């Protein structure tokens, strides 16, 4: 201070106050930047665990089928199954769907079944839940390269189709998902045309493995898994197993399907799980089972070749992918 005699000492900020202010500023900037960085990370990081809010289903039968269809593979936990979902109407972030679909209204619900049938009719939720249900544990293989083992509750689609009596002209079945932008406000950025539509050949639809699922782990389906009723076709990539079905139409030609409309070169009508036919942007030879660290081999028809290979006899599966 002796070096600056022109400044009266009263105008010099005491060193202590200066250091205090500096210390305060630095602390504030450090804390602020840390909060901002950590906050940004948290915004994009996975959500906390989800709880099973489904009501108990009382009509589970045929549990013996369980071990036969996914060998002795370990079941995925409810948290994994209900916390990691592709349901683009709600979000394209798989860990966000559960939260975004929380208030989705699934009751009242009805499924309109028509087209080339003798007895078109609309089933309400109570009627759908009256079908004798079975528990089926299937492997579930997503086209993105991950898989799970899921204990579904539901009934074979063939039972419902038999009730409406398809005409002899019917060769295919078209499905449609419920769509309401008011309940699905984020659907605008999904990048696919909605409502979501899917389809099967009639023989695929009538196959005993093809299920209309109404629950999992012995309880009604969580919204994010396609409540109140969804299709499960275990030998095809997951996107064929259309969620929250409102319409089933019997047709005499191949119906349009959402993903092949969006990108015909990447997603075919059949979309059978096939380790020898790669997706143009990634290999399908292996898959990551959710809950496992490494990867495992993908099985032909997702391990259901014995039951379904005959449906595709004589077909070139590279051509009809």
Partner 1 sequence: MTFSSDTRFHRQLVVFNGLLPALLILLDAWRGKLGANPVEFITRATGVLTLVFLVITLMVTPLRKIYGWNWLLKQRRLLGLYAFFYGVAHLLTYLAYDRDWQLQTVIGDVYKRPFIAIGMFSFALMIPLAVTSTNAMIKRLGGQRWAQLHRLTYYITIGGVLHYYIIVKSDITYPLIFAIIVAVLLAYRVMMSLKKPEVLHPELRE
Task: List interacting residues with partner 1 (CB under 8 A).
Answer: 22, 25-26, 29-30, 33-34, 37-38, 41-42, 44-48, 79-80, 83-84, 88, 92, 94-95, 144, 146, 189-192, 262-263, 278, 280-283, 286, 288, 290-291, 293-295
CB 68, min distance to partner 1, A: 26
**Tokens found for residue 104:** 């989705």
* Main-chain phi, psi angles of 173, to 5 degrees: -125, 130
- Cα–Cα distance measured from residue 153 to residue 74, given in angstroms and rounded to the nearest whole number: 17
CB 92, min distance to partner 1, A: 4
Tokens 């699934």 belong to residue: 106
Distances from the Cα of 31 to the Cα of 42, 44, 122, angstroms: 16, 20, 60
Question: Three-state SS for 162?
Answer: helix
- Decide whether 35 or 61 has the Cβ nearer to partner 1: 35
- Decide whether 264 or 291 has the Cβ nearer to partner 1: 291
- Decide whether 113 or 149 has the Cβ nearer to partner 1: 149
CB 141, min distance to partner 1, A: 14
- Decide whether 60 or 277 has the Cβ nearer to partner 1: 277
- Cα–Cα distance measured from residue 228 to residue 247, given in angstroms and rounded to the nearest whole number: 13
CB 77, min distance to partner 1, A: 9
- Given CA atoms 93, 277, 76, 103 in this order, what sign does their dihedral have? positive
- Cα–Cα distance measured from residue 37 to residue 31, given in angstroms and rounded to the nearest whole number: 10
CB 73, min distance to partner 1, A: 16
Closest of 56, 50, 48 to residue 216, by C-alpha: 56
- Decide whether 114 or 268 has the Cβ nearer to partner 1: 268
């Amino acid at each position: 201070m002796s070096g600056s005699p022109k400044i009266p000492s009263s105008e010099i900020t005491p060193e202590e106050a200066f250091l205090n202010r500096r210390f305060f500023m630095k602390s504030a900037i450090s804390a602020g930047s840390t909060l901002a960085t950590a906050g940004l990370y948290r915004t994009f990081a996975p959500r906390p665990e989800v709880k099973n809010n489904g009501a108990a289903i009382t009509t589970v039968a045929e549990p013996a089928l369980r071990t036969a269809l996914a060998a002795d593979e370990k079941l995925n936990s409810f948290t994994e199954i209900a916390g990691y979902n592709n349901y683009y109407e709600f979000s394209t972030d798989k860990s966000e769907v559960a939260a975004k679909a929380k208030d989705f209204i699934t009751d009242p619900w009805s499924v309109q079944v028509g087209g080339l049938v003798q007895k078109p009719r609309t089933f309400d939720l109570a009627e759908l839940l009256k079908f004798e249900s079975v528990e089926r544990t299937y492997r579930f293989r997503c086209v993105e390269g991950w898989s799970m083992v899921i204990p579904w509750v539901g009934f074979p689609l063939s039972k419902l189709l038999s009730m409406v009596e398809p005409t002899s002209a019917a060769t295919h079945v078209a499905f449609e998902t419920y769509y309401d932008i008011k309940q699905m406000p984020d659907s605008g950025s999904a990048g696919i045309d909605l409502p979501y539509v899917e389809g099967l050949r009639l023989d695929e639809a009538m196959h005993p493995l093809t299920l209309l699922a109404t629950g999992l782990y012995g309880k009604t389906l969580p919204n994010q898994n396609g409540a109140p009723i969804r299709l499960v076709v275990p030998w095809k990539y997951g996107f064929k197993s259309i969620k929250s079905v409102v319409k089933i139409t019997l047709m005499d030609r191949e119906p349009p399907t959402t993903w092949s409309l969006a990108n015909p070169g990447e997603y075919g009508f059949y979309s059978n799980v096939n380790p020898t036919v790669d997706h143009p942007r990634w290999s399908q030879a292996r898959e990551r089972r959710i809950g496992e660290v490494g990867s495992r081999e993908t099985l032909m028809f997702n391990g259901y070749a014995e039951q379904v290979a005959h449906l595709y006899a004589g077909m070139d599966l590279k051509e009809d992918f």
